[in-house]
């Protein structure tokens, strides 16, 4: 097995993206031989990520270290696998270090504030890894496609989002934005599987097919997101997601690469270790 190098540069959204030109079944940077290797490769990443995550959290407990956190944004159409990614990738990490939040249709209260209000409330704290299952991008995706606000309102949001993310990056948040890209055929298969298997009926909603009919409009909206909101401090990564095993491996590897770069270290004890060993040994006889 070869070593996967810099998946970030391989998956980073380019300029003037036309989603139809991107292969949703591709496996860029994958170091194994397809699905048979994937469990082992992803599990190995899980071990490294767990170790980094523990250091990241431990380091944040010290007042002297700068405030840092990680925010993973997962976007994709129904069945792209946001939930599956959370289960398979983030299931490898100590849940105490994670803050997972799924954004639903906004409540009345949320709608009474600006669109970033509910987002800010769910940001990960110091030393934490936050995962957004849907995000502020819904406000330029579903909202745009269904004309839930005037065009001039959603048009202004791309720039507002870029400024917001720049502000987060400045405050020590490492942002990893993943667009889980599937083909319409894959979505059809997955929706049919949900209908065929009674254990999966709960995952299906008759509204899913209405959204599916708007596929071209969603692609236009996603292209605008990728082309207008992939910035130096918060780039988008396009994850080919027709193969679940590749999707899981790729998101895990991206996370590992970012942690590797952040290189958190175990905090040094602020007490004399020898003295404390002696104290413990002598305590309670």
Contact residues for ligand ATP (CB under 6 A)? 78, 82-83, 102-106, 133-134, 138-139, 142-143
**Closest separation in Å from C-beta 104 to ligand ATP:** 4
CB-nearest residue to ligand ATP: 138
- Positive or negative: CA dihedral 197, 198, 202, 207: positive
**Closest separation in Å from C-beta 194 to ligand ATP:** 11
**Closest separation in Å from C-beta 33 to ligand ATP:** 31
Q: Closer to ligand ATP at the Cβ: 138 or 165?
A: 138
- Taking the CB of residue 168, how many other CB atoms lie within 10 A of it? 19
Q: Closer to ligand ATP at the Cβ: 83 or 216?
A: 83
**Closest separation in Å from C-beta 229 to ligand ATP:** 15
Structural contact between residues 282 and 43, judged by C-beta atoms closer than 8 angstroms: no
> How far apart, in whole angstroms, are the C-alpha atoms of residue 262 and residue 277?
32
Q: Closer to ligand ATP at the Cβ: 131 or 143?
A: 143
> How far apart, in whole angstroms, are the C-alpha atoms of residue 85 and residue 180?
9
**Closest separation in Å from C-beta 78 to ligand ATP:** 5
> How far apart, in whole angstroms, are the C-alpha atoms of residue 116 and residue 243?
33
Phi, psi of 242 (to 5 degrees): -65, -35
Q: Two tokens at 67?
A: 């405030």
**Closest separation in Å from C-beta 105 to ligand ATP:** 4
Q: Closer to ligand ATP at the Cβ: 143 or 229?
A: 143
Q: Identify the three-state secondary structure at position 129.
A: strand
Phi, psi of 211 (to 5 degrees): -65, -40
**Closest separation in Å from C-beta 207 to ligand ATP:** 7
> How far apart, in whole angstroms, are the C-alpha atoms of residue 62 and residue 271?
13
Q: Closer to ligand ATP at the Cβ: 128 or 143?
A: 143
Q: Closer to ligand ATP at the Cβ: 45 or 119?
A: 119
> How far apart, in whole angstroms, are the C-alpha atoms of residue 186 and residue 118?
32
Q: Sheet holding 98-102: strands in order across?
A: 98-102, 129-133, 69-75, 173-181, 236-240
Phi, psi of 63 (to 5 degrees): -65, -25
Listing DSSP states for 138-186 in one string gives GGGTHHHHTT-S-HHHHHHHHHHHHHHHHHHHHTTEEEEEEEEE--HHH
Q: Closer to ligand ATP at the Cβ: 4 or 226?
A: 226
Q: Closer to ligand ATP at the Cβ: 4 or 180?
A: 180
**Closest separation in Å from C-beta 13 to ligand ATP:** 21
Task: Note the residue count of the chain.
Answer: 285
> How far apart, in whole angstroms, are the C-alpha atoms of residue 90 and residue 176?
14
């Amino acid at each position: 097995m070869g070593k996967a190098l810099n998946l970030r540069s391989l998956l980073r959204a380019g300029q003037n993206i036309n989603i139809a030109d991107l292969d949703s079944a591709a496996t860029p940077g994958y170091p194994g031989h397809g699905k048979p290797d994937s469990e082992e490769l992803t599990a190995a990443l899980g071990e490294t990520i767990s170790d980094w995550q523990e250091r990241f959290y431990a380091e944040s407990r010290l007042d002297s270290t700068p405030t840092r956190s990680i925010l993973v944004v997962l976007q994709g159409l129904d069945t792209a696998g946001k939930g599956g990614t959370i289960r398979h990738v983030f299931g490898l990490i100590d849940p105490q270090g994670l803050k997972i939040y799924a954004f639903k249709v906004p409540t009345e209260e949320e709608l009474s504030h600006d669109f970033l209000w509910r987002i800010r409330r769910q940001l990960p704290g110091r030393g934490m890894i936050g995962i957004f299952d849907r995000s502020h991008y819904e406000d330029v995706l579903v909202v745009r496609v269904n004309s839930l606000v005037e065009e001039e309102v959603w048009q202004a949001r791309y720039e507002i989002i870029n400024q917001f993310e720049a502000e987060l990056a400045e405050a020590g948040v490492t942002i990893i934005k993943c667009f889980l890209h599937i083909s319409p055929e894959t979505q059809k298969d997955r929706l049919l599987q949900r209908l065929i298997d009674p254990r999966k009926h709960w995952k299906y909603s008759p509204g899913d097919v209405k959204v599916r009919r708007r596929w071209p409009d969603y692609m236009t909206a996603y292209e605008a997101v990728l082309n207008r909101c992939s910035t130096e401090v918060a780039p988008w990564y396009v994850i080919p997601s027709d193969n679940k095993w590749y999707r899981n491996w790729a998101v895990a590897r991206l996370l590992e690469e970012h942690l590797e770069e952040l290189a958190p270290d175990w905090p040094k004890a602020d007490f004399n270790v020898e003295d404390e060993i002696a104290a413990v040994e002598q305590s309670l006889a």
